[in-house]
Amino acid sequence: MYLRKLKAQGFRCFHSSFEIEFTDGLNVIVGENGAGKTAIISSIRQLFQDSESGRYSISSDDFFSPFITGGKAALSFSICAEFDGLDVEDKVAFLPWVGASNTALLTLQAENKEIRGRFKKIIWGGNSKSSQFDPELIDLIQCIYLPPLRDAESKLSNGRQSRLSKLLKALNRKQLKQCREDDTLHSLEEKLKDFNTSLATDDNLSIKKANELITANLTKAIGYHFGQKTSIQFAESDFTKIAESLTLLFFPDLSADSQELFRGLSQNSLGYNNLLYIASILAELTLDDEDDEQPLFKLLLIEEPEAHLHPQLQIRLLNHLKSVAEENKNVQVIVTTHSTVLASSVELESIIHLSKSQAPVATPLRTCGLHSTSSQFINRWLDVTKSNLLFASGVILVEGIAEQMIIPTLAKIVLKDQKDGYKSLEDLGISTINLNGIYFKHFMQLYCNIKTTDDPKEKDVGQNIPVRCAGLTDLDPPKKIKKEIPDPENAGETKEVSEDFIPYEGNMKNGTNHALKLVDSISKSTDARLFVSKYKTLEYDLAMEGNNAALMSGIIASLWPKPKENESPVIKEFTAMSKIDWTEKSPKEVAEAAHKILKRIDDDNIGKGMFAQVMTDKIQSEGFIFTVPEYIKNAILWASSLEVAEEE
């Protein structure tokens, strides 16, 4: 049994009908701040008795309220949970919820009418609102919620809400039940009772003497008629009181066996205390007890499990949560996170993307229609850097490190006339993701359905992440072309030679980039576009615009290694090129300069990454008037959703 689907309407940020599908086992919900991750967790908590925090009561803030002048809060909200994967025992136990179907339904509806500090609500199981509801069925589902700002130390300390006491009571539930039926003491109660008796009767201990003195003075003060007898002992002998008085200690070494070495939790780090807290909960969730009072389904909700943990511990914790959910068929784990470390360490099948919009949309990545090869590829390549795309308001996918460094700087030029808050990719929450190759076919399928052929059997399938995605790729025309020239050795004859192809307006050839065949299919989608360079590659196309070649030539001259003796012809040539006004040159002349620039940038003496870094610094620090190629400008505007406003 597991929670398969959740529907909410009128609750928190879910004005219209919101729906999210979960999988059994581990679910990791990712998305921007304010996307609605906490609202999902809160809606689930409304349905169940949280064993850590108790019933999650309804407040006025739970009713949707628009952020507009004069906006009115929703008159009601509804939350519906659909459970799937029910075995025979589950179907029998939850029969009122199941009915004739193979799924169980639980629905809560609340009205925005506060009466004596409470809001009117009704909860029912199955399809019929009028069916009689048995609240004891809720107890068959154990829900545990861990907030993002959890006080692990207080939860692990002794007291009524102690995690230790809950675990011990769960471990001894069957024994305690039998003891109560037999009117006997639990073995732990027996031991503490005997221990307290020995303390009270031992003449060698001061406890007996102290108790006698207290009793004697009390008797003298109020007399025998009103007097009371006292006893000094360690806690009460009731199992619950014993369990609640226990304290967890720690030692940072699993080999420690001396009790004198252990210390209180206040001396431990926040991260490790959080791990201890989670470990105590998992210990209870994984109990394999056939006791009748054990819940049939256990649901663990954790917001930001990465809190106070370094990356390696984040990964180990998530892997353990996954194994717990996989190895225990009645345990489901739902996690919300802002951690790119966690997002990159879990398979796509477990990730659910939540978009930030007026009407939030939940997209399980397993439903994006990815081919097995694409899914395997992304699982392998979705590292900490690339996983930024799961938390962005918009995405620009690029081929290499040079584009990743230069695009944010070029975006500031493109967006400079926009209003405050819209002048950079950082302002807009847009991430530039380096794919380290031409892998658009794999990654862009998250945002659109791609058809590679006109075959009608190849169907557009799958959901898409409703976030603007722009891809930037090179045209990559042939590097060499063959041509016929007069043969100097044979008069009147020609010979075939190979020479560098230098594209410019009026001298163009089709590209050889295999990603070009994806353009038409991607362009049919709502949120994705693939933009192609006009002439050749990023650096070449940059050099073809305005007077960019002058700045780029100067950078090459500054980066090229200076010989110990004599003058470098490369430095001399590019220094001269940096002083030319290329806006006054012909397209062919500019193209020849761009060809030389690209050749030197590709040289091991510089490299694209180093060049992009220096050029970015110069544009930002020196205010050079740099012209952005049209295809890059369009990609930035697309990812920013700014062209939509212009069209409207």
Residue 74 corresponds to which tokens in the numbers above?
Answer: 């929703």
CA 521 to chain centre: 29
Res 313: pLDDT? 83
Question: pLDDT at residue 243 above 80?
Answer: no
At 528, the pLDDT band (50, 70, 90 cuts) reads very high
Res 644: pLDDT? 44
Higher pLDDT, 271 or 579: 579
At 291, the pLDDT band (50, 70, 90 cuts) reads low
Laid out side by side, the sheet with 528-532 consists of 430-434, 394-398, 468-473, 528-532
At 571, the pLDDT band (50, 70, 90 cuts) reads very high
Question: pLDDT at residue 253 above 60?
Answer: no
Burial of 580 (0-12, 13-18, 19+ CB in 10 A): middle
Question: pLDDT at residue 352 above 50?
Answer: yes
Beta-bridge partner residues of 81: 6, 106
Question: pLDDT at residue 509 above 80?
Answer: yes
Res 258: pLDDT? 61
Beta-bridge partner residues of 335: 28, 302
CA 320 to chain centre: 17
Distance CA 289, CA 293 (A): 9
Average pLDDT (539-562) is 96
Average pLDDT (347-371) is 91
Question: pLDDT at residue 648 above 50?
Answer: no
| Ranges assigned E (strand) in 118-221 | 118-125, 141-146
DSSP string, 14-83: B-S-EEEE--SSEEEEEE-TTSSHHHHHHHHHHHSEETTTEE----GGGB---SSTT----SEEEEEEEE
Higher pLDDT, 143 or 181: 143
Res 172: pLDDT? 74
Higher pLDDT, 345 or 260: 345
Res 372: pLDDT? 87
At 307, the pLDDT band (50, 70, 90 cuts) reads confident
Distance CA 23, CA 351 (A): 10
Most confident range, picked from 78-87, 239-248, 378-387: 78-87
* Alpha helices (runs of H) in 352-392, residue ranges in sequence order: 372-381
> How high does pLDDT run on average in the chain?
86
A 10 A CB-CB count for 60 gives 10
Q: Shortest CA distance to 153 belongs to which of 164, 142, 143, 144? A: 164
Q: What percent of the chain has pLDDT over 70?
A: 87
- Which stretch of DSSP H or E encloses residue 398? strand 394-398
DSSP string, 269-285: -HHHHHHHHHHHHHHHH
pTM assigned to the model:
0.83
How many residues comprise the chain?
648
Res 129: pLDDT? 84
